[in-house]
Copies of this chain bind each other. A is one copy, B any other.
């Protein structure tokens, strides 16, 4: 047991932190202003983003998420985790380093399950940050917490697949650079429960693909990326667009989700750390009832509880990453489910305290807390609601005692 990162990781942490402080934080408000100044919030990407992206690439802070050393940085989950945390401190951070969801997950899927052609056509420009992608899984008509409910149909017709269905929360689909969707649907509704589903690549300009509307999260539109509701009406793509093979949808989803959850959790930890840092600064300057807020006992308790919750969430997430690296996704299932519950709820607590400590400023966009809060709240639902993950943890726990039921008390 050992609680320190390697020198290699520490160096990357340092480099990344410097980049954030020098280039990212000071440009957050510029990003926002450029976005508001555009003709439409969806028409283009604020130019500051490309500048920063270029800088990050130049400094080698690029595709750090990708464990495959052929395509990416070749870091383990445990090595990437603390870097992901740093990027997550800013809502515009991850994209600058080409480490934002859902592109990271989509790129991983392409690395692992994509054909050479898929890699050439979609993975390469994604890795270069030239195009963006979305992931179309959740559907409005059914409880998607149970993925077997999915109703979208992917039917083989000759050399093509025909897709019909309605998806929503396809994040990133509003981005003008978004060119490709990975769509989950049923190829064989008669197959075994977890073999009915497949994943398929659908270029967004294919006839029959229609973005119906962009969905807000609380009041945020998350432009220019956004969350789309998309209808697929007799959408035809070549049969080769299927990923891995028919019936592999569930298996791919499982593989995709493991690292994705680590990433989400670490970004949330970053958001929480930043909130705690800003809270600590603010309350040492702000005065009410004759003393600084930092000297009000209740607020000190917020600071302490925040620090305590962050530390615990981080350790558990790092352990989950460690297990993924050493014993694999399957053995790390309980830990991954745990952090998916812990991190969003921890972040919501810490962010809520920061909001309360900042007063009305906290709910506005003068500070990043409200925006981070909305993201964290989303992550109590996205990639499975808390309840499904808790249920997963409980099942694994109960299973330990199914064979040996004699109470030894």
**Set of chain B residues within 8 Å of A341, measured between Cβ atoms:** 304, 308
Q: Which residue of B is nearest A20, CB measured?
A: B408
Question: Per-residue 0/1 for A265-282: is the Cβ within 8 Å of any B Cβ (1 yes, 0 no)?
Answer: 000000000001110111
Instruction: Evaluate contact between B1 and A143: CB separation under 8 angstroms.
Output: no
Name the one of B6, B311, B377 contacting A363, with C-beta atoms under 8 angstroms.
B377
Instruction: Evaluate contact between A219 and B294: CB separation under 8 angstroms.
Output: no
A57-65, A253-261, A389-397: which lies at the interface: A389-397
**Known contacts A218-B373, A289-B146; is A284 also within 8 Å of B363 by CB?**
no
Question: Per-residue 0/1 for A300-337: is the Cβ within 8 Å of any B Cβ (1 yes, 0 no)?
Answer: 11011101100111011011001100000000001100
For residue A12, CB closer than 8 A to chain B, the reply is no
**Known contacts A298-B298, A316-B315; is A338 also within 8 Å of B284 by CB?**
no
For residue A158, CB closer than 8 A to chain B, the reply is no
Which chain A residues in 329-368 approach chain B with CB under 8 Å?
Answer: 334-335, 338, 341-342, 355-356, 359-368
For residue A169, CB closer than 8 A to chain B, the reply is yes
For residue A371, CB closer than 8 A to chain B, the reply is yes
Q: Which residue of B is nearest A348, CB measured?
A: B352
Q: Which residue of B is nearest A287, CB measured?
A: B143
**Known contacts A220-B218, A308-B341; is A169 also within 8 Å of B303 by CB?**
no
Which chain A residues in 242-256 approach chain B with CB under 8 Å?
Answer: none
Q: Closest CB of chain B to A290's CB: distance in Å?
A: 8
**Set of chain B residues within 8 Å of A373, measured between Cβ atoms:** 218
**Known contacts A220-B219, A363-B377, A408-B25; is A286 also within 8 Å of B143 by CB?**
yes
- Assembly CA distance A215 to B408 (angstroms): 21
For residue A47, CB closer than 8 A to chain B, the reply is no
Which chain A residues in 366-409 approach chain B with CB under 8 Å?
Answer: 366-368, 370-371, 373-374, 377-378, 380-382, 385-387, 389-395, 397-398, 400-402, 405, 407-409
**Set of chain B residues within 8 Å of A408, measured between Cβ atoms:** 21, 25-26
Give the contact-size bracket for chain A. Answer: 35 or more
- Assembly CA distance A367 to B218 (angstroms): 11
- Assembly CA distance A299 to B145 (angstroms): 14
For residue A216, CB closer than 8 A to chain B, the reply is yes
- Assembly CA distance A374 to B356 (angstroms): 13
**Set of chain B residues within 8 Å of A73, measured between Cβ atoms:** none
Instruction: Evaluate contact between A218 and B363: CB separation under 8 angstroms.
Output: yes
Please list 30 pairs of residues, one from A and one from B, whose beta carbons are closer than 8 Å in the complex, sorted by A's number: A1-B4, A1-B78, A21-B408, A26-B408, A143-B359, A146-B287, A146-B288, A218-B220, A219-B219, A219-B365, A219-B370, A276-B397, A280-B401, A281-B407, A296-B387, A297-B300, A298-B387, A299-B387, A303-B398, A304-B392, A304-B394, A305-B390, A307-B397, A311-B316, A312-B313, A315-B319, A356-B381, A356-B386, A360-B378, A363-B377
Would you list the 10 A-B pairs with minimal beta carbon distance, nearest first? Answer: A219-B219, A297-B297, A219-B220, A312-B312, A304-B390, A315-B315, A300-B394, A304-B393, A146-B288, A2-B2
**Besides A216-B370, A298-B301, A304-B341, 8 new A-B residue pairs in contact (Cβ under 8 A), listed by A number:** A280-B397, A294-B398, A304-B391, A304-B397, A312-B312, A312-B313, A312-B342, A356-B380
